[in-house]
Amino acid sequence: MGSEPADPGEHDLGPVTGYPQGEPVAVRVGRRRLVLIRDGEQVFALRDACPHQGAALSAGRVVSACRLRWEDPRWVQTDLRAVQCPWHGWSFGLRDGRALFAGEDPGARVRSYPARVAGGRVRVRVER
Ligand code: FES
């Protein structure tokens, strides 16, 4: 089994084994503050600032959640994983940063960054 060549547009954030399962970890990529979450075999990277009042999502927790669409009660998305803000509980999907619960602002979103594990190392793409 060969290892994938490094993508020059990605940042190497070290061995995946250095990240605990299901716990948000604050990381820096250049001047950006990200929260990195290892969940099962995958890793996810989001901006480490809640769009509500700026709390660090890295101080929050990972939860299981579902997404409902109120105008169509038949529509539901389940088995989502999210990070929950430690201050007021807003939650954002790990995959896309879209709000799963955001009080009066259901369209809230936190920026997400492409992240993956390659050759046992965490790689994140952050455009300049
Ligand atoms: S600062 Fe995150 S929910 Fe209020």
Dihedrals phi, psi of 120, to nearest 5 degrees: 80, 5
Share of the chain above pLDDT 90, in %: 70
User: How is 9-63 classified by DSSP, letter by letter?
Assistant: TEEEEEEGGGS-BT--EEEEETTEEEEEEEETTEEEEEESS-TTT---GGGSEEE
Rounded Cα distance, 111 and 64, in Å? 19
- Ligand 1 atom 1 nearest Cα: 53
Q: Give pLDDT, residue 5.
A: 57
* 28-71 tens-digit pLDDT: 998 999 999 999 999 999 999 999 999 999 999 999 987 776 66
Q: What is the mean pLDDT of residues 83-109?
A: 90
How is the chain split into domains, by residue range?
10-122
Q: Give pLDDT, residue 69.
A: 67
What tokens appear for 79 in the block?
């088995």
The dotted CATH code for 10-122 is 2.102.10.10
Ligand 1 pocket, CB under 6 A = 50, 52-53, 55, 85, 87-88, 90
| Cα 23 to ligand 1 centroid, rounded to whole Å | 18
Rounded Cα distance, 35 and 37, in Å? 7
- C-beta of residue 44 within 8 angstroms of C-beta of residue 37: yes
- 63: Cα separation from own chain's centroid: 12
Beta-bridge mates of residue 81: 64
- Ligand 1 atom 3 nearest Cα: 88
| Cα 3 to ligand 1 centroid, rounded to whole Å | 40
| Cα 34 to ligand 1 centroid, rounded to whole Å | 16
* 94-105 tens-digit pLDDT: 999 998 877 778
